[in-house]
Structure 1
Amino acid sequence: MALISIFKQWDMQALPISGGEPGIGFAINGSEFEKPENNPAITCDCTYDKNTTCHITKLRVYALNKRGAFPEEFVALRYLTYLYEEN
């Protein structure tokens, strides 16, 4: 739910992923994560609860031209180990 709230603040829409935290429709692995056309991009770890729950581990947002305070909902993404943002 945290990502949905963050995206709403950014005037974007998030779609649910299977179990765990919502994503943007699908998670991206490997070099696809860095491609500019995959923006924003997330990577999930789906090994929790016997491979039934996914948690967001990486989030990449690039050149979205969003201004304001960093959304406090990021603290709920407790499995997030990598955040990349560039203006």
Structure 2
Amino acid sequence: MAQNAATDPSEATALISIFKQWDMQALPINGGEQCIGFAINGSEFEKPENNPAITCDCTYDKNTTCHITKLRVHALNKRGVFPKEFEALRYLALLYEET
């Protein structure tokens, strides 16, 4: 269904910027596309080795656009201002951080 879908460009840019600020890289990003593979169905979202992890919904615009709906980060221990780029993640319904 979502094989030809692409992550909303503003969300992709925001996610990349957030992870750069946190000195991290989203895993896995295949070919620069965040919402492919396990990110679509969320089957690997809870696995500790997938940190950070995202889940996407690719049903928008007749299954051509994906939106990031969940973001999971684990024990980053970051301090400071919450990145303003989160404003671009309009469809984010869950921000999950384990301690």
Q: Do they superpose with TM above 0.5? A: yes
Which whole-Å CA distance do the structure 2 matches of 1:5 and 1:24 have between them?
16
Secondary structure of 2:45's aligned partner: helix
Residue 66 of structure 1, aligned match among 78, 83, 89: 78
Whether the 8 Å contact between 1:59 and 1:80 is mirrored in structure 2 is yes
| Residues 67 and 6 of structure 1, relative CA distance in 2, 3 Å threshold | same
* Counterpart residue number, 1:80: 92
Percent identity (aligned): 78
Which whole-Å CA distance do the structure 2 matches of 1:73 and 1:65 have between them?
19
Whether the 8 Å contact between 1:13 and 1:24 is mirrored in structure 2 is no
Which whole-Å CA distance do the structure 1 matches of 2:61 and 2:42 have between them?
21
Residue 45 of structure 2, aligned match among 33, 36, 39: 33
Give, in angstroms, the shift of residue 3 of structure 1. 0.4
Which whole-Å CA distance do the structure 2 matches of 1:48 and 1:24 have between them?
13
**What RMSD over aligned residues (CA atoms) do the two structures have, in Å?**
1.9
Considering Cα pairs closer than 8 Å and 6+ residues apart, tell me whether 1 or 2 has the greater RCO: 2
Stretches of structure 1 that go unaligned for 5 or more consecutive residues are 18-22
TM-score calculated relative to the size of structure 2: 0.71
TM-score calculated relative to the size of structure 1: 0.80
The count of corresponding residues between Structure 1 and Structure 2 is 81
